Amino acid sequence: MLILTAAGSHGEVEDEADIPRAQAEALLGACAGAVDYSRTVLPLGDNPALVDKILRPCVLHLVTLAFDTAEEAWGVVLPSGLALR
């Protein structure tokens, strides 16, 4: 997913778009050296959660959960206010 952030008349505005992996890799290649990235691993039972934070060129937080089976993944219940994309 690509998230573009711009200054609007009422503050920061975000536009989201699903893009193919090849396009995402091309964008990363075009801004080589201009991406600041960190990853934090949070233990959650048998499978950790990965919290990725991109600081530059814009701030993006991404949480990745890994599961052993598709059934386990589809059975996850998220806290209110969170959604799968």
Residues 6 or more apart whose CB falls under 8 angstroms from that of 65 comprise 44, 47, 49, 50, 73, 76
Predicted local confidence at residue 32, as pLDDT: 61
CA distance 27 to 2: 10
85 residues of the chain, pLDDT tens digit each: 777 777 677 777 778 888 888 888 887 777 665 667 778 888 877 778 888 888 777 788 888 888 888 888 888 777 776 666 6
pLDDT of residue 33: 59
pLDDT for residue 28: 75
- Please tell me the predicted confidence (pLDDT) of residue 2: 75
- CA dist 77 and 73 (Å) reads 9
What is the structure's pLDDT at 49?
Answer: 83
